[in-house]
Amino acid sequence: MSQKRKSTIARKLMKNLSRGVVKSIPFIGALTEQLIYGTLDEQAAKKETEKLHAALSQIAERQQGQDFAPADFLNELKGQGAFREEVAAEIDGLHAVLNDPGNAAISEELADAVERMIVHNLPYRSIGGLLKGRQDMLDRLRDELGAGKTAAITQVQAIHGLGGVGKTRLSVEYAWNALEEGRHTAAFFVVADSVANMNTNLAALAGPGLLNLPEQESREQPVIVEAVLSELARRSGWLMIFDNVDSDESAARLHRDVLPRLTGGNVLITSRKSNWPDEVSDLAIDKLEETDAAAYLLEKTGSKRAKSDDDEQLAGDIARELDGLPVALEQAAAYICRRHIGLGTYLKDFGESRRKVLSWYKAELNYPVAVLAAWETTNERLGASERGILRLASFLAPEAIPAELFESKAEKVEEAAGLIREETSPRSESPVEEGDPGVRSLLAELAGWSMIALEQESFTMHRLVQDSIRLTIPKDKLKAWVSLALEVVNQYIPAAPPSNDVRSWHIWKSVDTHVRAVVSHADGEGITEPTTRLMNDLALYLKTHARFDDAEPMYRRALQIDEQALGKDHPKIATELNNLAELLRATNHTKEAEPLIRRALEIDEKYFGKDHHKVGIPLNNLAQLLHDTNRLKEAEPLMRRVAEILQNPGGEPFPNYSTALNNLALLLKETNRLDEAEPMYRRALEIDEQSFGKDHPNVARDLNNLALLLQARNRLKEAEPLMRRALEIFEKSLGPDHPNTMKVRENLEGLK
């Protein structure tokens, strides 16, 4: 948060407090607590905070529901608390600010305390007075979700309306107002257009700068989501926005599993759906009235437009043409400001674009002509490279797109620009591009036209922009564009390390939703490669993070596509059968998994030969399934065969040899053959340290296994340092609350 933004929020909060807008005594108590922690060391701050909470309880008992003026409340608090001199001075400073109408006395310490209190991930800044025609809706939201409601019961408000009507903007503007008036001290924004995205974005709230939970390091998404919901239930004073809850699946997940857990704050939903349950208050949002829409255009374009005497009339004309849709009005204003043209010129350009859109528009597209025409008007003025980026990005998810995805693939941007030139030449009126402006400059240009929202490391496109861009692509060119977008994503993700390796997760975390989006488009166009490879890699990443419900359909669809394309006996089919079977085994569906693994083994043995190292994978998986189902006599010979194949006598061991040794050693340990098991565990540890380095989770697994065997042999002094090292590695790589970490911690306690 910038210094300017920080001081602005602090000033608005203090002004609202001094004017009596904020009457929340808990809010002032929370602010005082932040001042205490900003003034004293942690141990002293804890003692002073205990005094604060005791004083707040006593004042609340005497208050008996009556309002205190904030300044009077601070006098009571100071007299009741018997605070240390430093804390009393901070309370005096806060008192002085509340008595200063201009808030000139705001100190750096107070501004910092306000910053620590206010936590948010809102996607836009407030537009303040530019939010026209929505004051009555803001007032209603304030009434429904305001501080006067019972805090123990979650108040839920749903805003519904058609696309482009401004649901998201209204919810974000309400959130800013609520933060600045002290009605909330945290505002969380979760895109929930699908169940998968809802879960992903809920999990993101655990991260630094937001809830900052230790579970953020877990590789299992359900663990992170559970921690977020539990923490929100424990806290109060927050606002949660679930944006674009348009699908039946998302709405059901939200209503059934999430809302009952969110008892500590307020929830706001934006959706095109209107059939919400009775306990969800409903607010239908419509287009702007013509006068409000015209006022927005005149104020937004201000000194940047070429003015004329009939601007008010022309603004009304544009408002009617755009049908009062805020998203189209915002695009029109950006176009006018960017070109420094008059409103009459915009009407002419818009009319030409509208005629063009109507030539291909169909009512079943379910998008207003005005919105599509507004974007087409801007699109016509962009250079080929900018338009190429928009087209490629239109096949990705409507969430933060890593700028590096395009910056690292400048040659693909140029290839996209070439496709645009082929398509539009010689009729194109787009500006002539000189030299290589660089991808960052192209993104900045698009942000200037309000086609994207650009941040330091990422950018976002409105879903309606994406849809409208895709609709302009000629049908005979669509497959080529999808293929190019697929290549951009595929080449951005390195082939090694694999998606189940922690070393690749920083990349997958930033692109998993975009991979999901682009492979869906590619599947629709019948593109099999690298579509199924990305599907399998994404599913493996999701499975590793315990997102089994998201991974399974991806595995099944990849298998279905490749069986049709390659035939049922291709070795790639064996790999995909293995992947699906391993997920089923992980979710305890062993009866369905076993025939899939046996089929995979049969394909690989027939294709590669029975002693080929590729056969080791399904053979190992079958052995593990037999072990899991307590068929140890059947499992052991298979495990020994796997270890023999992967050992590769006369050469370097194949990958997964250490895993095969671990598996066989575990079976030997369980059948009390410890002398034979120990050297296998030590050899596996040696291999993994050489292959992955000494701080990799696989090494921690090996250390834990060896330590447990030494414990079984009563060699506790040897076991303890190994277990401690395993715990240290897991805590660093997976986080302190990951199931593997907790299991090793439990194992370590068992050694004492």
User: By C-alpha distance, which of 538, 514, 554, 485 is closest to 397?
Assistant: 514
Contact 705, 681 (CB under 8 A): yes
Q: Which of 255-283 are b and which e, b meaning 16 or more Cβ less than 10 Å from the residue's Cβ?
A: beebbeebebbbbbbbbeeeebeeebbbb
Helices 85-98/25-39 angle, 10° precision:
130
The C-alpha atoms of residue 68 and residue 556 are separated, in whole angstroms, by 62
Write out the H or E segment, with its range, that includes residue 719.
helix 716-733
> What type of residue sits at position 180?
E
User: By C-alpha distance, which of 168, 118, 92 is closest to 13?
Assistant: 118
Contact 497, 503 (CB under 8 A): yes
pLDDT digits (tens, 9 = 90+) for 394-445: 999 988 999 999 999 899 999 999 999 998 865 444 454 544 568 999 999 9
Mean pLDDT, range 274-290, rounded to an integer: 80
What was the pLDDT predicted at 6?
44
The tokens describing 220, both together, are 């299992």
Q: Which residues pair with 222 in a beta bridge?
A: none
User: By C-alpha distance, which of 400, 341, 399, 349 is closest to 379?
Assistant: 349
Mean pLDDT, range 611-620, rounded to an integer: 91
pLDDT digits (tens, 9 = 90+) for 372-399: 888 888 888 899 999 999 999 999 998 8
pLDDT digits (tens, 9 = 90+) for 186-244: 899 999 989 989 999 999 999 888 888 888 878 788 989 999 999 888 777 789 999 98
The tokens describing 575, both together, are 């790999």
pTM: 0.75
The tokens describing 180, both together, are 């600045």
The C-alpha atoms of residue 25 and residue 577 are separated, in whole angstroms, by 60
The C-alpha atoms of residue 173 and residue 168 are separated, in whole angstroms, by 9
Inform me whether the pLDDT recorded for 41 exceeds 60.
yes
Inform me whether the pLDDT recorded for 606 exceeds 90.
yes
Inform me whether the pLDDT recorded for 595 exceeds 80.
yes
Contact 638, 623 (CB under 8 A): yes
Q: Is 367 helix (H, G, I), strand (E, B) or coil?
A: coil
> What type of residue sits at position 661?
L
How many C-beta atoms surround the C-beta of residue 456 within 10 A? 6
User: By C-alpha distance, which of 177, 167, 165 is closest to 139?
Assistant: 177
What percent of the residues of the chain are helix, what percent strand, and what percent coil, each to the nearest 5? 65, 5, 30
pLDDT digits (tens, 9 = 90+) for 461-510: 888 888 888 988 989 999 999 999 999 999 999 888 899 888 898 999 99
The C-alpha atoms of residue 54 and residue 369 are separated, in whole angstroms, by 61
How many C-beta atoms surround the C-beta of residue 673 within 10 A? 12
